[in-house]
Amino acid sequence: MTSATRSNPSLTLTVGSRGSKLALVQTRMVIDALGRIAPDVTVAVRIIRTEGDRNQHDSLTALGGRGVFVGEIEEQLLEGEIDFAVHSLKDLPASQPAGVCLVAVPERADARDVLVARNGLSLDQLPQGARIGSSSERRSSQLLALRPDLQNRNIRGNVGTRLRKLDENEYDAIVLAAAGIARLQLENRVSQYFSTAEMLPAVAQGALVVECREDDQLLRELFVPLDHQDTRTAVMAERAFLRGLGGGCQMPIAAHATLKGGELRLEGLVARRDGQRIVRDEIIGASAEPETLGAELSRRVLEKGGALLEMTNHHR
């Protein structure tokens, strides 16, 4: 954004986004929300292909886990090619590069996972040895804990691609995020919503985030009304849990925080990839200290056996 643009009350901004239908829908949600609070702002969308978009074959773990969908976008942000970026917050690593800040976390959507089966079957109804498509070791490990007979198959691609592969009989069922399904208005495809007791969500699942440059005071002020404090507090606790476990590159990690009054309840887990052991715990405390609670829960999980699981996963 040039100085001339900054001095003009009618701002023209450029947002960076991945090119999938879901990413563009989510970016449009933020643009529309911004338009309601700042109608003089015009936003152009720049589509940026990331490593995770280019490589549709290797698993996300093989590509390095969190961060494969955001690195190139953050580079363009720091270089001034774009003014802000919109991401699914669950795609972000536990820490941001220097010079980038999470300027707004809008109100979270449904954090749960869903099962989409070709015949509308629930998990219990799927046949013995059913083929389940999932790109997430967090999901696959918890699925195997529920149904050890399942055949876990890696699946990549956007939501539409995954549904097509399911319909073409490559899989008996797939697991997706409820929030993405809802944003694409595909709720009619859902066979089952998993409770958080059955499948704990990914850190920050269901939440979006707006990133801008740390020194861009104008945008930092502009996006303040889009920030939802309860959502930010919850995901801060979850991300602190993730950081306490070392970022989550080598093991399935899940966390979910809820707020009630001034109290925060955070559940977290670490699992073996085959689902044969899951270390799960929870902590309840003051919502004013989300990061302290997240760090404490990570310490507890590691002490209960999570550290051993990390070593086991790393050497598998």
Domains along the chain with CATH numbers: 3-106+207-227 (3.40.190.10), 113-193 (3.40.190.10), 235-314 (3.30.160.40)
pLDDT of residue 68: 65
In the chain, the amino acid numbered 235 is: V
pLDDT tens-digit readout, 176-185: 999 999 999 9
Instruction: Considering only residues 52 and 130, tell me which one the structure prediction assigns the higher pLDDT.
Output: 130
pLDDT grade for 52, boundaries at 50, 70 and 90: low
The residue written with tokens 């990839």 in the block is 273
Residue 243 near residue 95 (C-beta atoms within 8 A)? yes
pLDDT of residue 181: 98
* C-alpha to C-alpha distance for 202 and 255, rounded to whole angstroms: 6
pLDDT tens-digit readout, 204-215: 999 999 999 999
Kindly state the average pLDDT of the residues 50-57. Answer: 57
In the chain, the amino acid numbered 1 is: M
Q: What proportion of the chain, given as a percentage, has pLDDT over 70?
A: 86
91 is catalytic: yes
* C-alpha to C-alpha distance for 252 and 257, rounded to whole angstroms: 17
Paired sense of beta strands 253-260 and 263-271, if any: antiparallel
* C-alpha to C-alpha distance for 140 and 127, rounded to whole angstroms: 17
pLDDT of residue 219: 97
The residue written with tokens 């861009």 in the block is 216
Q: H-helix or E-strand containing 181?
A: helix 178-183
Q: ∠ CA(195), CA(196), CA(201), 5° rounding?
A: 120
pLDDT of residue 257: 98
Q: Which residues pair with 254 in a beta bridge?
A: 269
Of 91, 113, 172, 216, which is the active-site residue?
A: 91
Write down the pTM of the prediction: 0.89
Q: What proportion of the chain, given as a percentage, has pLDDT over 90?
A: 80
* C-alpha to C-alpha distance for 231 and 94, rounded to whole angstroms: 16
What are φ and ψ of residue 81, in 5° steps?
A: -75, -25
Q: Which of 145, 144, 155, 147 is nearest to 126 (CA)?
A: 147
How many CB atoms neighbour CB 42 within 10 A?
13
pLDDT tens-digit readout, 3-33: 334 444 579 999 999 999 999 999 999 999 9
* C-alpha to C-alpha distance for 38 and 254, rounded to whole angstroms: 36
In the chain, the amino acid numbered 98 is: A
Strands (E) located in 232-315: 253-260, 263-271, 278-286
List C-alpha distances in Å: 285 to 229, 261, 291.
Answer: 17, 11, 11
- 10 Å CB burial of residue 128 (0-12, 13-18, 19+) is exposed
pLDDT of residue 309: 66
Residue 316 reports pLDDT greater than 50:
no
